[in-house]
Amino acid sequence: MEIYEGVTISPGIAIGKIWYHQTPEQLGYPHAISDVKQELVRYQSAKEQAAAQLTKAYERAAADGDQQQAILYRRQISLLESAGFSRAIESLVSTEKVNVSYALVTTRDELAATFSALSDAVVADQISDMRAVTERLTYILDGLSRERYTLEEPVIIAAAKMSPSEVMELDKNKVLGFLTQGGSSLSHTSILVKAANVPSLIHVPVRAQWEGRMCIVDGHTGKMYLDPDALLLEEYEERQEQERKERAYLQSLKYAEDVTADGHRVQLYANIADLEDMDSALESGAGGDRSFAQRISVSGQG
């Protein structure tokens, strides 16, 4: 058994096999081209396919009422359609006579390196969008399948890092937890992971060799146990079952009246950092009536 420590993003206990997420190494490999015009036609075709995929994803998210994901897809569509982004790619292909995939990855890395030092949330979102759009285009250009996001069974996701779009493309019903080597508790990816309500740790030294191995993620202590022994596994299964019972009990109180034991009615407020916490508050039955949206206290807002 191996024990690793990380930083908790979401609490809870997850038990299951590890599914290692890895971006294929062939993405963005350079090679010289002889027909610049044909390469630019390939790029235009890939842009159209990517736009269709993102538009479909946007419409699905909007129909499901998932405003957060809808906004993210809308931003990526805007980036894909921006003239400045395309000019940079097309210029590199034309002047250096290199393949589009390489031009995409090179432009992405140069822009990310230029702006990553800026501690601005908007810039951070733009860099994240650029990474996601670049990966999508490169997959289309290189004829690679995105079926790697299809999970056949419930698993714990392990990755060096994950973009928001990669998290969104996973089947959340089959995600037991997350382990990532990099990341920040304030990143957009971490926000999406928190919304998934599964145990998650960052700053864990994940390895590709962990694929398929059993592990326990303890989001309360920030520890991960790889190949746990039978005794520890039994202990955590009991703790996990106890947590399920506690959650079920709390859910049973979701619509109970906000009244004390001696009959005094009270007002319950949700103290949230931003509107992205709204779904969790509503899911927990905060306020208990339709006036909730008018009564919540949003910290950091006037």
Give dist(CA 183, CA 193) in Å, integer: 11
Q: Is 188 exposed, middle or buried (0-12, 13-18, 19+ CB in 10 A)?
A: buried
Report yes or no: 128 and 67 within 8 Å, Cβ to Cβ.
no
Is residue 91 included in any domain, yes or no? yes
Among 113, 141, 169, where does a domain finish? Answer: 141
Q: Is the dihedral of CA 199, 200, 201, 206 positive or negative?
A: positive
Total tally of structural domains belonging to the chain? 3
Asked whether residue 226 carries a pLDDT value surpassing 90, the answer given is yes
Question: For residue 126, with 0-12 CB atoms within 10 Å meaning exposed, 13-18 middle and 19 or more buried, which class applies?
Answer: middle
* Gap between the Cα atoms of 115 and 97, Å rounded: 26
Distances (CA, A) of 129 to 74, 75, 249: 10, 7, 40
Q: Please state whether beta strands 200-202 and 214-218 pair in parallel, antiparallel, or not at all (unpaired).
A: unpaired
Predicted local distance difference test score (pLDDT) of residue 150: 67
**Dihedral sign for Cα atoms in the order 201, 205, 211, 212:** negative
Residue finishing a domain among 93, 118, 141: 141
**67 and 123 part of one domain:** yes
Average pLDDT along the chain: 81
What residues form DSSP beta bridges with 225? Answer: 3, 216
In a domain, 247, yes or no: no
- Are 231 and 260 in the same domain? no
pLDDT tens for 78-88 read 998 888 888 98
pLDDT in the model for residue 292: 38
Contact between 151 and 169 under an 8 Å Cβ cutoff? The reply is no
Mean pLDDT of the 153-178 span: 84
- Tell me: the pLDDT tens digits for 25-34? 445 567 788 8
Name the residue with tokens 């000019």. 87
Give pLDDT, residue 193: 81
State the CATH number of the domain containing residue 87.
Answer: 1.10.274.10
For residue 253, how far is the Cα from the chain centroid? 30
Q: Which tokens is 260 given?
A: 């004390």
Cβ atoms within 10 Å of 133's Cβ, excluding its own: 24
CB contact at 8 A, 93 and 39: yes
Within a 13 Å sphere around the CA of 196, how many CA atoms are in the beta-carbon half?
Answer: 27
One domain, residues 261 and 179: no
Can you give the residue range of the structural domain that contains 130?
A: 36-141
Q: Which whole number is the average pLDDT over 141-165?
A: 75
The model's pLDDT over 168-208, given as tens digits with 9 standing for 90+, comes to 777 788 899 999 988 777 777 777 788 788 999 999 999 98
Quick one: 156 and 200 in the same domain? Answer: yes
pLDDT digits (tens, 9 = 90+) for 32-62: 888 999 999 999 999 999 999 999 989 988 8
- Residue with the larger pLDDT of the pair 112 and 238: 238
Q: Are residues 219 and 262 in the same domain?
A: no
- Picking from 87, 108, 141, the residue at the C-terminal end of a domain is 141
The DSSP secondary-structure symbol of 265 reads: B
* Cα-based torsion angle of the residue sequence 151, 104, 61, 23 in order, rounded to the nearest 10 degrees: 10
Residue 132 and residue 161 in one domain: no
pTM score = 0.58
**92 and 115 both lie in a single domain:** yes
Are both 94 and 161 inside the same structural domain? no
pLDDT digits (tens, 9 = 90+) for 265-302: 877 766 554 444 566 666 666 654 433 343 433 333 44
* Residues 136, 180 within the same domain: no
